[in-house]
Structure 1
Amino acid sequence: MQHIHDLLDLRAVTPVFQPLIDLATGRVVGYEALSRGPAGSPWESPAALFAAARAAGREAELDWICRAVAYRAALAAGFGPELTLFVNMEPTAWRAGCPADLVPIFDAARDRLRVVTEMTERAIAADPAALLSAAESCREAGWGVALDDVGADPMSLALMPFVHPDVVKLDMGLLHAPDDPATARVVAAVSAYAETSGAVVLAEGIETARHLAVARTMGATVGQGWHFGRPAPLPETTPAAARLPLLPAPARGDRTPFEIVSAVRPVTRTTKAQLMPLSRHLEALAGSGPEPPVLLACFQEARHFTAHTAARFQRVAAHSPLVAALGIGLPAEPAPGVRGASLGDDRLRGEWNVIVVGPHRAAALVARDLGDNGPEADRRFDFALTHDRGLAAEAARSLLHQLAPVNVPALL
């Protein structure tokens, strides 16, 4: 095999599998599929394999190939309905579409396998619309979603509610630094999410009995690592498995933030002048604390995103995982570090929204313009306010679909 193109054309990728273990019973709940290039080739390691595919402009195709060969192996091994297969996915591959020759494998997998698709928080910031659409596609098949490497980047905590993962995978670095205050913050945020959602917490990188004990104190109920088994081909006989629970899918649809929140919260009528202090208070929440939240806002029109507003949003964006401003005529980056989107939805054009979602707090101010023609400060709005985490996250998801993808460096 002389070239990376030959490897990809031949689909010459080999899957290996690492067991996932129920920490209470020691039973297998599933396997994570990992990919390798041809043994002895320059592309044997996954890092080299993906780097070469990226350089050749075929990274998305490789992503589909890796999942397809994992599905094919699991199907051949006779995975039963109790056994869960974990696979990694870059949501950008969802935009590219499945290669035609791999479609039959994916169709068979949807019919016969129980899959959890792993995604990372950097995909949310890079292409939130693709990530949410990919997650919805997985759930339509009855599959689950996992958020991978949580804790490797503190910003992943603020982005967790948007993925609404069935499984939260604690980064292996946390097990090696259990006394670090940053580890405690991650564990507290993940525990809060797991308690309210019912999500499973999985600890990666368990290599010793001590790691296992630490994982349990961090709230993990499922573990993965060399202590239980190294990546290898699937066993000839798959073990009796403990079924991994999945969550109900989050609410979806085409409602706007105002429609979402006002359906369950009281609506009050007031003027723009009276709403401004409340709007700025929510913006200030996004700029405070050790774990800055996501900030999303609708401004109706670009003229309302003033120089002073741009400066405030730029300050928040300097240390927040995602800050976005939406409005008619707003460019892709209306201020340094701030994502922008020009609205095409007529319903959103009439809304003024400020939504803040972080690891430990959430709030949404949603308002609808009544169409007054008088002085700017006297323009009237119907508005509703919520601090309910689920409502704020649902309102935010409706805006994330409006954001176009950006190019970010690929990480492995």
Structure 2
Amino acid sequence: MTVLFRRETPLPSPVAAVVGRAGAPRPTDGATIEKIVEQRLLTAEFQPVVSLNNRHVIGFEALARGPVNTRLASPAAMLTAASFKGLLPELDTVARSVAADAVLKLDLPDETLLFVNALPQGLLADVPDDLADSLREAIDRYTVVTEIDDAVLTGDPLLAVHAADRVRALGVRVAVDNFGASIDALALLPLLAPDVIKLDMSLLGHAPNAHAAMVLDTVADYRRTTGALVVAQGIEHDHQLPLAGGLGARLGQGYLFGAAATVPQLSGGNDGRITLPAPAAVKGDNLDPLVLPGEEIIAPGSLVRELAARLERTATSSDIPAAMAIVCPNGRFPSGAPLAAANHVARGSAMTVLLAPDAALRPIRRVHLAALPSGDPLFQHTVIAILTPSTAAALVATASPGTEDTYTYRFSRDRDVAIRLLRHLLARAAFEEYA
């Protein structure tokens, strides 16, 4: 599925809105978000995305526009109004269908890259039958890349990852938009598993600094292991191109290459030299994520709890916030600390997910709590998975039957193992929350 919203950012000069083709809404003073949703009073514009090595236009980003000359003309105004009225999924669905109709009428070449922004609430909503056909045809004909904003990812990682997995199963590719706007997103990158990274325009708007170096480090490692494409956004001047290339970008977007328009034009044809990596898949998907590689070790429970405490401290002491998921079968952290300690853990993390029996859970700020039935097979294990851009850890420990405080455990520092375990725990938590 696809959505067409873009975070509003100040531009160096105003961009005149171009009224869409046939059926474009006329200016009106009576626009309401309810009327926009009900009567489909949206249009779409398309900003070019170019190959930096030859400046050929190889794709577009679709942007939603409300009725012109009204207070709801901008995406930000529509989103604000829809949020207030509880209509975000409905607005999202209408925006997708309007954009799909627009690109199909333009008859762009097959496989053209079409970038569209995504709201997880809309991606997870059911699509009405009368809108589904155009959406499906656009996905089948073009290479649709759904963008999930850095702020959306860090604001609710569990929802964002769940939505990305849902649309990926429908044949839509995934991008993270405005990546690098926040430090929290760095640890979450491999969990979202995007095919494309669209860099935040602030990275090109300032001289290189320590933050840009952290983003570069994270992006370079992810690009090396996945083959993901990198897009530099906000390119307005030629002197920004060397920095864009230095950050690993092969594609670019910005006013240097063109503003959004209702009738996009490919230049030099879709030359085929820019291709997305194979659909994202976590290494070892066919393996049981709870069975870690390596030797199974028997140890006193006190030693396992000390190892767990060390991992919990590691997650809160990293210079870059960590992503973590923890299984607490007895309603306590694996270290033995009470779940109330999650307040401290969450303050220093990009994402904290706790899976515990329902009776043990109380709301904790910034913590995703997944209440599982007390007899859930997952509670046969004590599990920790932690990830930062520079470190990773996975621990699965099981109480030995017939013994007093003795455990068997496997422990790994392998990033792929930790990512696989984290994604498994996120999927379990998402199933409980969004099923």
Which 5+ residue runs of structure 2 have no aligned equivalent?
A: 1-27
Aligned equivalent of 1:271: 300
Distance 1:119 1:142 in 2: 16
Whether contact under 8 Å (2:110, 2:142) holds in the other structure is yes
Letter matched to residue 150 of structure 1: F
Letter matched to residue 277 of structure 2: L
Q: Once the 2 structures are TM-superposed, how far is the Cα of residue 336 of structure 1 from its aligned partner?
A: 4.2
Distance 1:198 1:125 in 2: 23
Aligned equivalent of 1:358: 388
Relative to the length of structure 1, the TM-score reads: 0.89
Cα distance, 1:300–1:33 mapped onto 2, change above 3 Å: same
Aligned equivalent of 2:319: 290
Deviations 1:339-388 (A, max 9, x none): 3222237221111111111122211111233444x54xx2323x222222
1:368 maps onto 2:398 in alignment:
yes
Whether contact under 8 Å (1:114, 1:143) holds in the other structure is yes
Secondary structure of residue in 2 paired with 1:300: coil
Cα distance, 1:137–1:203 mapped onto 2, change above 3 Å: same
Q: Once the 2 structures are TM-superposed, how far is the Cα of residue 393 of structure 1 from its aligned partner?
A: 1.1
My pick for the range that moved more, 259-268 or 275-284, is 259-268
Letter matched to residue 300 of structure 2: T
Secondary structure of residue in 2 paired with 1:203: strand
Whether contact under 8 Å (2:289, 2:424) holds in the other structure is no
Letter matched to residue 113 of structure 1: Y
Runs of 4+ in 1 over 6 A off after TM superposition: 252-256
1:392 maps onto 2:418 in alignment:
yes
Secondary structure of residue in 2 paired with 1:96: coil
Cα distance, 1:280–1:200 mapped onto 2, change above 3 Å: same
Write the mapping of 1:10-409 to structure 2, written as runs, cut at 5 A. 10-235=39-264, 240-241=269-270, 242=272, 243-251=274-282, 259-260=288-289, 262=291, 264-303=293-332, 308-310=337-339, 312-329=341-358, 333=362, 335-344=364-373, 346-372=376-402, 374-375=403-404, 378-381=405-408, 383-403=409-429
Whether contact under 8 Å (2:230, 2:251) holds in the other structure is yes
Whether contact under 8 Å (1:200, 1:221) holds in the other structure is yes
Letter matched to residue 169 of structure 1: K
Distance 2:72 2:219 in 1: 35
Relative to the length of structure 2, the TM-score reads: 0.84
Letter matched to residue 352 of structure 1: T
My pick for the range that moved more, 76-85 or 331-340, is 331-340
Task: Tell me which of the two structures has the higher relative contact order, counting C-alpha pairs closer than 8 angstroms and 6 or more residues apart.
Answer: 1
Letter matched to residue 384 of structure 1: R
Distance 1:361 1:330 in 2: 33
Cα distance, 1:50–1:112 mapped onto 2, change above 3 Å: same
Q: Once the 2 structures are TM-superposed, how far is the Cα of residue 334 of structure 1 from its aligned partner?
A: 5.5
Cα distance, 1:304–1:295 mapped onto 2, change above 3 Å: closer
Distance 1:127 1:69 in 2: 27
Cα distance, 1:72–1:320 mapped onto 2, change above 3 Å: same
Sequence identity of aligned pairs in percent? 33
Whether contact under 8 Å (1:299, 1:327) holds in the other structure is yes
Secondary structure of residue in 1 paired with 2:138: helix
Whether contact under 8 Å (1:13, 1:38) holds in the other structure is yes
Whether contact under 8 Å (1:310, 1:334) holds in the other structure is no
Letter matched to residue 234 of structure 1: V
Deviations 1:42-73 (A, max 9, x none): 11111111111222221111112222222211
Letter matched to residue 378 of structure 2: L
Distance 1:29 1:367 in 2: 50
Whether contact under 8 Å (1:203, 1:223) holds in the other structure is yes
Whether contact under 8 Å (2:173, 2:279) holds in the other structure is no
Distance 1:389 1:330 in 2: 33
